[in-house]
Amino acid sequence: MSAQKPSIPKGTRDFNAEVLAKRYYIFDTIKKVFVKYGFQPIETPTLENLSTLMGKYGEEGDRLLFKILNSGDFLKNASQLTDYKKLTYEISEKGLRYDLTVPFARYVVMHQNEIAFPFKRYQIQPVWRGDSPQHGRYREFYQCDADVIGTNSLVCEAELIQIYDEVFAKLGIPVTIKINNRKILQGLSEVIQAPDKLIDITIAIDKLDKIAWEGVEKELVEKGLSVQACEKIKQFISLNADDLEYFFEENEIGKKGAEEIRTVLHLLKNIETVNQIEIDYSLARGLNYYTGCILEVKAKNVKMGSIGGGGRYDDLTGFFGLKGMSGVGISFGADRIYDVLEELQLFPDLSGNQTKVLIVTFDHENLLYAMPILRKMRDFNIHAELYPEPTKIKKQMDYANKRRIPYAVLIGSEEMQIGKLTFKNMVTGEQEKLYAEEIMQKLMN
C-alpha cells in the first residue's frame, strides 16, 4: 500500500518555533494588560453541548458551527428525518466552541455560587468556525477575551476601551477604536417601521466595509425591506452625533443608545489615549446577543478586517436560567493581529528566547565532561543545548546553523586537558580558548 500524503484541514495551520515565539509575544502582551486591569483567567472545554451553542449566534452562526457526530449506531433513526435541525440534534450532541463568550455565560451560571460579582475574567483559547478560509480568516483561530459580568455600569465599557488602547499602543499598531450601540440600531428598525427586521438590518450593515452600500442595499431588499426604508438606512449611516437627536426625536430606544455612547465618551474625557476613538453608526457586529454598546478595532495603514470587537449583552446567561445578568466584553483577534504585525514589520527581536549556545563533543568522554558544564549554564539561565551524541563535527555545526544558534562550545581531549574550552561565534566564525566561567560571563553579557 502506498504511503498517504500528509495534509491538514483547510483553514488550519502548523506553527514552527519562530512563529510561536511571535504568537506568545502577542498573548503575553495582552495577558499582562488584562491582569493589570483586575481580570482573572478561566478556561472552558474545547467541546460544548450543542444545546449550549445553537441559537446564540444567529442563523449564520448555527451554520458555521463545527458539529461532532455521536458515536454508535446513531443513523438508525436519523435517516428517517428530513428537517435539518432535528437531524442535527439526532446525530450530534456536541460541537466545537464558536467563540468564548457563550461558554463563559454557561460557566457563570454553573459556578454562580463560587463567583464574586461583578466578575472580571479573561480567557485565551482557540475557537472554530466553518468559514471559507482566506487571508486573515481561519477555521481554527485564537481569541483573547476579557469580560465583566454582573453590572450595568458603563464604566466597564470605558475600561475595555482603555484596554484596547493600551494593548495596541504596546504592540505598536496604530488603530481606530469604533463605538456604536445596538439600541441605536433597534431604534433605526423602529423608525423605518421594520422592528422584525432588526437582525437582517444589522447583519447587512455589518458587511458595509466589505460589499459597499450597493451590496448592503441589495441584501436588505432581498430580505423584504422597501426602497424607502433602504434610503432611510442610508441616510442614518451618514449622520453625525448632532443629527442623531433629530433622527430619533420620537424614538426612546434610539435616544437611550445615543445617551449611553455619550456617557462612555464622557467617562473617557479626561483620559489620555494613544489611539483614535470614533463613533460609527454603521457598526453593527453580527452576533445576535449584543444589546448595548458595541466596539470594533480597525488597524490603520493595512488592509485587514477588524482585529478586535465586542459589546454589551444584557441577558446571555438567561439562556441557561440566570436572568437579568448583564455583561460586557471584548475580544482580540490574535491571528489577524499577527498578520498585521508581520505586514507592518512591527515584531521586536525575539531571538533572546532561543538557544544561545550549543556544546559540541568528539567522544563519549567529552560528553560526560560537558554534562556538568551544561547544567551550570542553565543554572545561570543561559539557554544552552548539548548535541546528544558525539558524531561528526560538521553534522553538529550544521545543526547549530540550521537552528540559528549564535555560539558553540567545542570540547575535545585538548580542552579537557588544559581546562580551556573552544568558544566559537557561529556568525563571524571567530573562536578563542576560554575557561567555562569566562564563556558563561560572555553569554550573560
CATH number at residue 432: 3.40.50.800
268 belongs to a structural domain: no
Query: Cα(337)–Cα(414) distance, rounded to whole angstroms?
Result: 52
Buried/exposed 138-166: b ≥16 CB within 10 Å, e otherwise: bbbbbbbbbbbbbbeebebbbbbbbbbbb
Give binding residues for L-histidine as ranges: 99-101, 129, 143, 147, 285, 289-290
408 belongs to a structural domain: yes
pLDDT for 155 equals 98
Q: Identify the domain containing residue 386 by its residue range.
A: 354-444
387 belongs to a structural domain: yes
391 belongs to a structural domain: yes
**Sequential pLDDT tens for the chain (445 residues):** 678 899 999 999 999 999 999 999 999 999 999 999 999 999 999 999 999 999 888 788 888 999 998 876 656 555 555 665 666 667 888 999 999 999 999 999 999 999 999 999 999 999 999 988 887 688 999 999 999 999 999 999 999 999 999 999 999 999 999 999 999 999 999 999 999 888 888 888 888 878 889 998 999 999 998 989 999 999 888 877 777 878 898 899 999 999 999 999 999 999 999 999 999 988 888 667 889 999 999 999 898 889 999 999 998 899 999 998 999 999 999 999 999 999 999 999 988 779 999 999 999 999 999 999 999 999 999 999 999 999 999 999 999 999 999 999 999 999 999 999 999 999 999 999 999 999 999 999 8
pLDDT for 87 equals 66
Segment holding 234, helix H or strand E: helix 227-237
426 belongs to a structural domain: yes
401 belongs to a structural domain: yes
What is the rounded average pLDDT for all residues in the chain? 91
Angle at 289 between CA 285 and CA 292, to 5 degrees: 70
439 belongs to a structural domain: yes
Beta pairing class for 327-333 and 308-313: antiparallel
- The overall pTM is greater than 0.85: yes
- How many separate domains does the chain show? 1
Non-local CB neighbours of 419 within 8 Å, separated by 6+ positions: 435
418 belongs to a structural domain: yes
Give binding residues as ranges: 99-101, 129, 143, 147, 285, 289-290
